[in-house]
Amino acid sequence: SHFIPSPDLCSLSSTLPPHRAELGRCCNASAWLAVTQDNTPLGSEIVYDAYPSKRLKVSSGLLEILPEVEVLFDEEYNSQSARFSLIHPEMYQVGGFGVIAARLPRSDAEDQWEEVVFMAIGLPLLITSIRFNLPSVDFPEDVGKKSSIVTVNPSILHKRFHGLNGRRLPFVKAAASYGKTWFLIPAFSYPSNSEASYRALYALQDSASQSHTFFFHPQYLSGLSKYWHDHGFHTPRLSSGFMLVNAALELCQHITLYGFWPFSLHPDGHSLPHHYYDNVLPNSRIHIMPKEFTYYVDMHFHGVLQLHLGRC
């Protein structure tokens, strides 16, 4: 087996609360994960987390596209008033690295994803799943089909969809492939990305999509970056996966990671593409994925989360 061994459950229950409390004090995902009318009122200023010399005054036009309060899924998936401060029992995060394509035998993979990971309807406990950077869903036998939250890096909006300056239908179709989900975009990290992020939101609204678009709050991202810098992790920018693993540490009781393996060789020794759907490498001047992975491993062995690397 290529699993990292499962952590002891007693360790899980005793280790996670201090992590949650520590991150809550510095970052407070329950209040600041997404930009809302509640935490970003009319006339206030948004400070871009990657470009702090730039500020954006909140106008009435911006305010009206923001949700009223922090929200996360409830069992019926239609709440517009539930706060992120609800502690959710299970959180599954699906990374995009190539190792995930070898995670399950193909004959068993789709059933296992659908039954174990994503089928929350009818259960008394909510299961939340997260995918990163608008990944391909052309491989349901490996990665399942259902999603709760999908992050969208604005660079994807620019490269794949030309900033949505022309036709928006290709983006709408790509978004529709995830079903009813929530898209989370760092619209206020760099000033050059805000307009494309707005257009993504408008495109989904204009197409009568049942999905919703939210923007990372730069105050949360800057606080999280400072937290890890103070703990010795000096990176130009945290990856979206690392950001939401940290949010999950505050918001979820049990966390499982799949497809987080940022290396070119499988644990077996054979070569892997960087993602399960392409071999586009991250910019090493921006992200330090192997270092992030060492923190996941440390969290796993301290019982904070479960990190799955091989077949189930």
50 DSSP β-pair partners: none
- Cβ atoms of 50 and 237 closer than 8 Å: yes
> Locate tokens 């606080």: which residue?
223
Tens digit of each residue's pLDDT, the chain (312 residues): 344 444 433 334 445 556 778 899 999 998 999 999 999 999 999 999 999 999 999 999 999 999 887 554 443 433 333 333 334 445 555 554 443 443 333 334 344 333 333 322 222 234 467 888 887 776 555 556 667 889 999 999 999 999 999 999 999 999 998 888 889 999 999 999 999 999 999 999 999 998 999 999 999 999 999 999 999 999 999 999 899 999 988 888 788 888 778 777 777 777 776 555 566 767 777 878 889 989 999 999 888 888 887 654
Q: Which residues contact residue 2 at a Cβ distance below 8 angstroms, ignoring those fewer than 6 apart?
A: 266, 267, 268, 309, 310, 311
CB-based burial, 131-147: b 16+ in 10 Å, e otherwise: bbbbbebebebbbbebb
Catalytic residue IDs: 287
Q: Measuring CA to CA, how many Å separate 285 from each of 109, 234, 265, 292?
A: 35, 12, 21, 14
Which has the closest alpha carbon to 49: 33, 69, 65? Answer: 33
Q: How many CB atoms lie within 10 A of CB 148?
A: 23
The pTM score is 0.79
Which residues lie below 8 Å from residue 64, measured CB to CB, with a gap of 6+? none
212 backbone dihedrals φ, ψ, rounded to 5°: -125, 155
State how far the Cα of 238 lies from the Cα of 145, in Å rounded to an integer.
Answer: 26
Determine the distance from the C-alpha atom of residue 294 to the mean position of all C-alpha atoms in its chain, rounded to a whole number. 19
